[in-house]
Amino acid sequence: MSLDDWRAFFLSMPAATEEMPFGPEVLVYKVANKMFGLLAWQDEPLSINLKCEPNLALSLRDAYPAVTAGYHMNKAHWNTIILDGSLDHNLVKDWIRDSYNLIFNALPKKTQAEMRARDD
Q: Tell me: the pLDDT tens digits for 108-118? A: 999 888 888 87
Contact at 8 Å (CB) between 15 and 115? yes
The residues with which 79 forms a beta bridge, in sequence order, are: 50, 69
Question: In the structure, how many helices (H) and strands (E) does the chain have?
Answer: 4, 6
Band of the pLDDT at 120, cuts 50, 70, 90? low
The residues with which 78 forms a beta bridge, in sequence order, are: 51
Q: What are the distances in angstroms from CA 53 to CA 32, 47, 76, 99, 108?
A: 20, 19, 8, 9, 19
Q: What are the distances in angstroms from CA 81 to CA 19, 43, 108, 109, 110?
A: 20, 12, 29, 30, 32
User: How many other CB atoms sit within 10 Å of the CB of residue 26?
Assistant: 19
Give me the torsion for CA of 7, 85, 99, 73, rounded to 10°. Answer: -90
Q: Tell me: the pLDDT tens digits for 9-20? A: 999 999 999 999
Phi, psi values for residue 115, rounded to 5°: -65, -40
Q: Tell me: the pLDDT tens digits for 56-106? A: 999 999 999 999 998 888 888 999 999 999 999 999 999 999 999 999 999
